[in-house]
Chains A and B, each alone.
Chain A
Amino acid sequence: MLFRKMLRTVIRYKAQFFSMIIMIAIGTGMFLGFNMEWLSLEKDTKAFFKETNFADYRITSKDSFSKKDADKINSITGVDRTARYISVNADVKGTENMVGLTVTENPNVSGFVVTDGEAYDENSKDGIWLSDKYAENNNVHTGDEMTLTYDKLTITGKVKGLIKSGEYMICVRDESQLMPDFKLYGYAYITPKALQQSIDNMAKDEAEKNIRTDIPKTMRDDIVKETTQKIADETYQNVWHQINVISSLSKAEFTKQVEKVLDRTLLILTKDENISYSESQGEVNEGKTMGSVLPTLFLLIAVLTMVSTMHRLVANEKTQIGTLKALGFKDRRILWHYTTFALSIGIFGSVLGAVLGYFVAWFIMNPDGMMGTYIVMTDWTIQFEWWCWAVLTGIVLFLTFIGFLSTRKMLQGTASDVLKPYTPKNIRQLAIEKLSFVNHLSFGTKWNLRDILRHQSRSFMTLFGVMGCTLLIVAGLGMNDTVGKFMDMYYTDIANYSSKVQISDDAENKDALNIAEKYNGDCLASVSVQYEDNPISLDIYKMKYDTVHFLNENNDRILLPDDGALVCMRLKDEYHLNIGDEIELSPYGTSEKYIVKIKGFNRSLSKSISVSEEYAQTLRSTLKVLTYTSVYKINTVFTKTEKSKINDSFVLSVQSKEDIMKSMDSFMEIMNLFVVILIISAVILGIIVLYNLGIMSFTERYREMATLKVIGFNDRKIGNLLISQNIWLSVLGILIGIPTAYGTLALLIKMLAGEYEMSCYISLLSLLISTVLTLSVSLAVGLIIARKSRKIDMVSALKIPE
């Protein structure tokens, strides 16, 4: 019979019952969803890296590595596998596209998985294993012929297989490209034999081109053959500038061992310094941050509202609890009866939350979803770990415990005590009310003010709900504003160029300078230097045409000084640097050390120190630097000339500002989706919290409203009283929510996108939208509840004893 009573209690409080379930489902769903997202990303990427034999270390050198070097490294204890490795950006003939042309001497290091076509065959001389995403976006199929060109090399082959590779899990051309664009850029693996073949062809062409025509044919053939062999051998031996290694050694130990066996200092990059690894793990960490901030707020709002609602619900049932007690039901049975109410809300809410969480995680983490536009891998399993179960169980237990405590509180005392209806605490005059202006407030204002003070937990929850709703909307829109402003700032204020020209590796500085002169461009030489054991980029600019600007932390333009360096904000924060400090930098591959004086700090996409060429030259002349050209080589030219007008033999590639912006668009799309999810969830949660608490407020003030109605207040006046309380709390919630959102956003930006050195920014429009949206939610809910005042049954309401 008690079970039947419980079902009827559920029906009686159906609005609260279902809203609590939805609230718990949204809170749990958002929390689990965002946390399952990073968990899945972490596990799935880890599995993919393992599956494709992702390298732990990348050793690079200006001088090519010999086979012997690779063998020496392979012989180090703790080194599992090594492979000489090439990865260069090659043009796809007949298109404007590029692919990362990749060769690995050992397919068990930095390899790939074939998703379609033939398996990798190391003896193939014409096989190309192409990125499946690139193939899909460019309508390339297995069996199709494809020609790739890099410098003087031409590689023509057949697409034998479509693949996915851990090395290109995040397939971007360089650091300036934020998001992959598979239409324009992919990757392709060829075998060392295919590389040898194309080198042979190139060598033959070179030999034939340079042979004197007055030599007899037979002799000429011999010379060509001999020269071809010589060029081919030299070229083949000089293309291996990288060795990839799978090893369990620590970086310090590995570096020590490698430098010992090769007897030279080398630039050794861990997997953390590889874009695919660092960015994907960055996504995981961002996911962890996201999962621990905003979704936790969702969960907190849901659970706290549930606590408040459950208490009120049991309080409303106090007379019934007393009746059961008076009838002779034991406390334990009554406790269980009402606790099951909370238990069932917990179970239904958590189960729905788990389902919602799965979909939220899936929405982000699926090959065609948000993450799929960024990361390419084989397995997209949504992971659900023990702690997800623990969260679900914890929520159910917590809610049950809340139900238990609320009921136990009502059960205290004798049956006759419990039979008396629950009355909230008596109100007393507050000190503030002694102020004269309080006496001039309208009756409605005083009524609402005291009601807020009388029902503090309900009022606090309403305030908290509105604040949370505002915070989520403002933070969501603010995130969009911040990224938008950052991009705008970066590509309007910083990048004053139209095209970014990559200079080919075989060009000398004079060639690069010629290109710069030809296209009125400024030069950049990026040198990998070591600072405090970490690799950073020393960017040396030769500026003449004002194509690159520098912004300080207030986003004001500053000039690149001639007597010191500009250090990026991240390095400033990480190493607590100050203007006037001197820092020591050492280029990789050399034992030279430079002392650089800090003259200012700037916002930069990469972890870098920027200096002018003039200043770089003073470093050379005043410090223990041996050679100038061995230290840096111009690799980029920025120019205001349009991409289509740039053509030079030493140009490796040209990216227009629009190309770069396009990749930003995809980034923005993901961000927009995320913001939409956040706003929709916030609005739903806001509606439910406000409705739930509004209904509670309505129920608690039912008798008072009935009295007002009897006295002669009409429905509109009573409705206005109800709405005005909602509006007050909403305005207060918004006023608290906006600065809180600003703080939360600043924290999120710092944790999520520290590498971009963004400054937190919320536009006036976003604040307006957030305010209007939150107030609209509040007003809409207030109107729905106010409509209920029409149905107040004055006769029966006033018969209820006080």
Chain B
Amino acid sequence: MSDPEDLVSLAVSEQPRRDDLLVVDHVTLRFGGVVALDDVSFEVRRGEILGLIGPNGAGKTTCFNAMTGVYRPTSGEVRFDGERVSGRKPHQINRMGIARTFQNIRLFPEMTALENVMVGTDSQHFTSVPGALFRLYRKRAKPEELPVVDSDNGLVRAWQQTRLAFAKVFGISRHTLEERAGEQKGMALLRFVGIADRANDLARNLPYGYQRRLEIARALATEPKLLCLDEPAAGFNPAEKEQLLKLIRDIRDKGYTVLLIEHDMRLVMGVTDRIVVLEFGKKIAEGPPAEVRENPKVIAAYLGVPADAS
């Protein structure tokens, strides 16, 4: 097995081709008479950080939900890697390569931080009830996978040697290998987001900032091609926001594509490559941060000045 630190950077091996990873194609979404999204089109390119911004109620989260399959567009479609997203179940969409965090944190509060991340790593694993129960799918163990014999106590040592002999004869089950890989990768991810010191604490007992980071680690654990962050800086003070910016850049540098929803303009300007601006369910601007910042429509949307008066 490779160095666990490397496991985080698995996504780098994906060749970052300069094409569109996610395409939102003329998506309209109506709830009864309310038009939540009105003919919105944009795309997320591989390897970039795209910001999706807009004032409160502009349809950011609705757009997000349409992308991740929670809502089905009334017309138009969302394609990910060339395949239609809508109509699939949430866990299938996750397997396509989209992972997300939640605006209001939704961890598994009664599981430890490490277990939370391991739920994410489990999405690439295959052990089900028969495999866990009977430890099936055994394969010949590589030397480094064999159980260690390290105890000084005679009895314990004898037990360890029995286990070693057993593993040599019968091999190692998929369950064991997956557990081990999940734990290593989980710890590596916790270190990556900087919360490894509280790995064995229940998620509910973690401080707020840790919980936000844990959500990101859990999403990364599913090895997504696209990581969607829904207002990850909500409730953060400026220092924490700064750390978060660094983390998001680190994530991009690992080779992930990031979609960032945020209404804090300064945060978005500092980290994104391109920005899409929504207002009242319509796309009003798209482009690099500097360009978008100068766009009169955007200024109007944020400052409430009528567009023609500016």
A binds B: no
Q: Which residues of B contact A (CB under 8 A)?
A: none
